[in-house]
Structure 1
Amino acid sequence: MLRAIACKHERLTPIADMASIGEAVADRENTVWVDIAGPTPDEWACLRDEFAFHPLSLEDVERRHQRPKIDVFPDYYFMVVYALRFGGATAAVAEAAGGPARGDDGGLAARPMDVGRAAGNGFDAPRVLDIRELAIFLGANYMVTLHVAPIDAIDGVWDHWQRRTDVIGSDVGALLHVLLDHLIDDYFPVIDAVADRVEDLEESIFDRFDPAALGEIFALKKDLLALRRIVAPERDVLNVLLRRDPPILSSATVVFFQDVYDHALRVLDSIDTYRDLLSSALDAYLSVQSNNLNEIMRRLTVISTVFLPLTFLTGFFGMNFTTLPFANPALLGLGLALMVAIPAGMVLYFRWRGWS
């Protein structure tokens, strides 16, 4: 689905068909935004013919699953970024070991956050982390966005631009800034959810020691690694946009990307912080597990030690030598008294020393 709009002197004009896009872009006083969700063959042809994008850029868009990046061409920027959000628990599962995965429809599939959670193991049902790829072409007076699945940030900025053209204006750089700002700000709820999961993990380790916490730790570490593979390259993308001699953006617009860059750094720092906390949680889990095992072995050792004299006494009095006076009733009473007194004395001694 293609939708396009042109802004000239803070007045917006919808573009009805693909044939009018080239005319709108040719007017340098226009700022044109073309948004394509799930490009059709005709829309691919429009990108090739009307905008003359480099074949390598179009190939990256068609094949998808690209690492976040920015390619600088003489007439335009080509960027790949990602939108993140939490979805429902029944969304499709995708493999993220090498980046977002392809869904059955050829688009980007959602991957689950904390896949180790299951009903009955002390944790809530998993919330699914949607990772959606977004390709952006930015020219002197136009921006083209391409994606497969709907992206909330695009819809929000699209509606905001139509309501408040005086805020965003007719500068394509300001339009890009607002879009990237929305995308990065949507990362913070994901980081907050990770923080909640880390707190739950710490509680499950130290308060009740849930064995399921180990799987939860590794699932969260995997999710944070997937997040870092997205945010770290996007920081480099923003760093390129901050250069003082950009071929597309004006110097006045570049300043605004510093704020988005700072937000990306905050997200990246939070990811690294929670990765360190999870490593500490893993060490704590293993330490608590080892302490519990040592406690069990200590109690078993106490029990074995208490029964050791009983084994000796019963073995001694169980001998069948006729010369031993075992038929004496007083000796039987003495043996029974020792069987009670010695273990009782050992238990009291162990408690006094703090061994039991």
Structure 2
Amino acid sequence: MPSLPRSPFGRRGRATAEVTPERTEPRVEIIESPGLRWFNVERPRSLEQAWLEEHFDFHALDLEDIRSRNQRPKVDEYDEYLFIVLHFPRYDKKVSRLNAAEVDIFVGPDFLITIPNEPLDPISYLFERCRTNEEFRDQLFSKGSGYLLYKIVDDCVDAAFPMLGKIGNKLERIEEAIFEDGEAEDVVRDISNAKQEIINFRKIVRPQRVAFRDLERNKARYLAEDLDIYFDDIIDASERGWDMLENFKEVVEGLEATNESAIAHRTNQTFQVLTAISLIFLPLTLIASFFGMNVHLPFEDSQYAFWIIIAAMLAIVVGVAAFFRRRGWL
């Protein structure tokens, strides 16, 4: 039997896929300075968790919290370290939504470990700056792990204000669009999106306020006395952001009510015009129905009857329209 020609595409049903080799080394970035080390472990997996268990004597519950993705912001105090869980807003461009990025932090007298479960630009930028700028690193690390913790948290809190500014600009655009014709559906959608962003932002910030106050109470362990005021600044910034969210919440609710009133007003205007038009032509319908009857009527034998009726109907239309105009109904 002659052999069949081989297909240039290979056998059907078998697809060649590139297999990514498994990592054998944990992805742990380290910056060292005399007296202080900063470890950054982004998106930890089993290798990174095993590395933490091997190199540090952390409580088992803290290691379990790292594996979990549903932790509330909190500050747990131990004899040798602090374990901190914080959430910060992060805009996901793939789904166009505001999500919470969690970062777990271990703070000791001579070390600090940041474990973000999602990439956070403020932490990545600060870590890279410390890596590349020796003068900045020495200046920052010389003040101890408490000040480094303050700098990380402060940068993450400050990064939320541009997002709040964008929400404020969006509300201003919505306010302008409410009174423009032809954009009712777009305005409703924009109000819904703005409300969702504000709700998500509030869900992130509300529990964080308690964690910041707990952190402010425990700051003295790793912070010099002359640096106490710095953590008060974090609380002030957090409260300022919360006040902005409260204001945005009231504004978007007011815009929603205003938009509903504007839609109702436009609808009433439409019905008013349609009602006026119906009333204008109602007498004409009555006259036409009379002369459409199969009975003897005055002037029906006159050759000018049609034009007389048309003139009378036009006079009625003009008179009723003028009356409605004077009353402001048209």
Which category of TM-score, normalised to the shorter sequence, fits these structures? 0.7 to 0.9
Q: Tell me the distance in 2 between the aligned counterparts of 1:130 and 1:226.
A: 7
Amino acid at match of 2:83: F
Unaligned 5+ segments in structure 1 are 9-29, 94-111, 114-128
Cα pair 2:158 2:237 within 8 Å, conserved: yes
Q: Give the C-alpha shift of residue 341 in structure 1.
A: 0.4
Equivalent of residue 295 in structure 1, options 269, 277, 286: 269
Unaligned 5+ segments in structure 2 are 1-26
Q: Give the C-alpha shift of residue 310 in structure 1.
A: 0.2
Question: Structure 1 residues 77 and 167 mapped into 2: Cα distance closer, same or farther (>3 Å)?
Answer: closer
SS at match of 2:41: strand
Aligned 1:1-356 pairs, distance under 5 A: 1-8=27-34, 30-86=35-91, 89=93, 91=94, 93=95, 112-113=96-97, 129=98, 131-161=100-130, 162-164=134-136, 165-210=138-183, 211-243=185-217, 246-322=220-296, 326-329=300-303, 331-356=305-330
Q: Deviations over 1:119-175 (max 9, x none)?
A: xxxxxxxxxx46432111112322111124432222332244443222452411100
Greater helix content: 2
Question: Structure 1 residues 323 and 146 mapped into 2: Cα distance closer, same or farther (>3 Å)?
Answer: closer
Q: Give the C-alpha shift of residue 225 in structure 1.
A: 0.9
Cα pair 1:177 1:257 within 8 Å, conserved: yes
Cα pair 1:82 1:134 within 8 Å, conserved: yes
Q: Tell me the distance in 2 between the aligned counterparts of 1:160 and 1:329.
A: 100
Q: Tell me the distance in 1 between the aligned counterparts of 2:239 and 2:180.
A: 33
Q: Tell me the distance in 1 between the aligned counterparts of 2:198 and 2:66.
A: 26
Q: Give the C-alpha shift of residue 71 in structure 1.
A: 2.2
Q: Deviations over 1:85-137 (max 9, x none)?
A: 556x4x2x3xxxxxxxxxxxxxxxxxx24xxxxxxxxxxxxxxx464321111
Aligned-pair Cα RMSD in Å: 2.3
Q: Give the C-alpha shift of residue 324 in structure 1.
A: 5.3
SS at match of 1:256: helix
Question: Structure 1 residues 168 and 32 mapped into 2: Cα distance closer, same or farther (>3 Å)?
Answer: closer
Aligned to 2:9: none
Q: Tell me the distance in 1 between the aligned counterparts of 2:167 and 2:182.
A: 20
Question: Structure 1 residues 168 and 134 mapped into 2: Cα distance closer, same or farther (>3 Å)?
Answer: same
Question: Structure 1 residues 45 and 174 mapped into 2: Cα distance closer, same or farther (>3 Å)?
Answer: same
Q: Tell me the distance in 2 between the aligned counterparts of 1:240 and 1:249.
A: 15
Amino acid at match of 2:217: R
Aligned to 2:14: none
Q: Tell me the distance in 1 between the aligned counterparts of 2:101 and 2:52.
A: 21
SS at match of 1:37: coil
Q: Give the C-alpha shift of residue 239 in structure 1.
A: 1.0
Q: Tell me the distance in 2 between the aligned counterparts of 1:75 and 1:209.
A: 64
Q: Give the C-alpha shift of residue 245 in structure 1.
A: 7.8
What TM-score results when the alignment is normalised by the length of structure 2? 0.83
What TM-score results when the alignment is normalised by the length of structure 1? 0.77
Q: Give the C-alpha shift of residue 255 in structure 1.
A: 2.1
Q: Give the C-alpha shift of residue 209 in structure 1.
A: 4.9
Sequence identity, in percent? 29
Q: Tell me the distance in 2 between the aligned counterparts of 1:305 and 1:38.
A: 71
SS at match of 1:6: strand
Question: Structure 1 residues 244 and 237 mapped into 2: Cα distance closer, same or farther (>3 Å)?
Answer: closer
